[in-house]
Amino acid sequence: MEKRRDFEHAAEEIEQLFADLWQVFPFSRSLRRGYRPEVDVYRSEDPPMLTVQVELPGVDPDDVQLVASPQALLIAGERRRPKGGGHYQQMEIEYGPFQRQITLAENVDPEEATATYDRGMLTVRLPIAPRPAPQESVSIVVRTS
């Protein structure tokens, strides 16, 4: 059990060393992946819709663009670094432009979509597109060529 704890401690130290490297070497900052908001998508039944929730703390809602199609949702924007921050001693918060494209499991009606922003959470509601009514049985004639 003691060796496992030592291994976990060593892994934490290595992770911290790599995190510190991003701060020490300016050239390495461009190698970071940048800001990438977390997204949840879930379906509800009454009424049938898909809801997309996006964590956007510190993002001005005016800096967010949403584009919906029947099968996808594009979320783009930018989380801007506060001005006048001075000389950083530690730098862990990700800033910059972001873009997420969410492929939807069902067709939605993009014209009826709504979006709200509250306390850093963006919620996009996308009503599921009505399916065409099933038709009566249809006879298919087989022809010879």
Reported as a pLDDT band with limits 50, 70 and 90, residue 57 is: very high
What pLDDT score does 135 carry?
62
- Are 8 and 45 contained in the same domain? no
Average pLDDT, integer, range 119-133: 89
The DSSP letter of residue 142 is -
Give the pLDDT of residue 81.
87
Q: Where are the beta strands (DSSP E) in 4-137?
A: 39-44, 49-55, 64-69, 72-79, 96-103, 114-118, 121-127
**Total number of domains constituting the chain:** 2
Whole-angstrom distance, CA of residue 132 vs CA of residue 142? 26
Is residue 43, in this structure, part of any structural domain at all? yes
What CATH number has the domain bearing residue 100? 2.60.40.790
49 and 108 co-located in one domain: yes
Domain that includes residue 7, residue range? 1-32
Q: Please give the Cα distance from 25 to 32 (Å, whole number).
A: 12
88 with 57, same domain? Answer: yes
Structural domain contains residue 15: yes
Mean predicted lDDT score pLDDT of the chain:
81
pLDDT, tens digit (0-9, with 9 covering 90-100), for 34-50: 788 999 999 999 999 99
Helices (H) and strands (E) in the chain, counts: 1, 7
Q: Does 53 share its domain with 87?
A: yes
Q: What is the pLDDT of residues 71-104, one digit of tens each?
A: 999 999 999 988 887 788 888 888 899 999 999 9
pTM of the model: 0.69
pLDDT, position 5: 58
